[in-house]
């Protein structure tokens, strides 16, 4: 299995879209089987899921990084849902 750069794993926890953009510019996107168009669409709309796919494909779904990113993705979705509900009520 291929390793993913540590800077990519850490930075993508906080800034997934920015991290993907920097990685595309550097040519350091992790190896994957997703077509380029799929990469671009997922990077715009669901970057955390795309990063989870990269980690699962390169490091395995049982790696610690996958678990950390999955937890952060779930927390981000919950927070976004709460904020969206609060805006809809007001």
How far is the CA of 9 from the CAs of 21, 81, 85, 88, in angstroms?
Answer: 14, 25, 30, 34
Domain-by-domain residue ranges, the chain?
A: 6-89
Whether the model clears a pTM of 0.85, i.e. scores above it, the answer is yes
Residue 31 has what pLDDT?
87
Asked if residues 48 and 66 have their Cβ atoms less than 8 Å apart, the reply is no
**Along the 90 residues of the chain, how does pLDDT read in single tens digits?**
568 999 999 999 999 999 999 999 999 999 888 998 999 999 999 999 999 999 999 999 999 999 999 999 999 999 999 999 888 887
Residue 1 has what pLDDT?
57
Alpha-carbon span 87 to 2, nearest angstrom: 43
């Amino acid at each position: 299995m291929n390793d993913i750069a540590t800077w990519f794993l850490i930075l993508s926890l906080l800034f997934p879209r920015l991290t993907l953009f920097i990685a595309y510019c550097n040519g350091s996107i992790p190896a994957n089987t997703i077509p380029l168009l799929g990469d671009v669409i997922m990077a715009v709309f669901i970057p955390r899921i795309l990063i989870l796919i990269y980690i699962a494909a390169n490091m395995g779904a049982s790696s610690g990084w996958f678990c950390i990113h999955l937890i952060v993705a779930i927390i981000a979705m919950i927070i976004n849902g709460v904020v969206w509900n609060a805006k809809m009520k007001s």
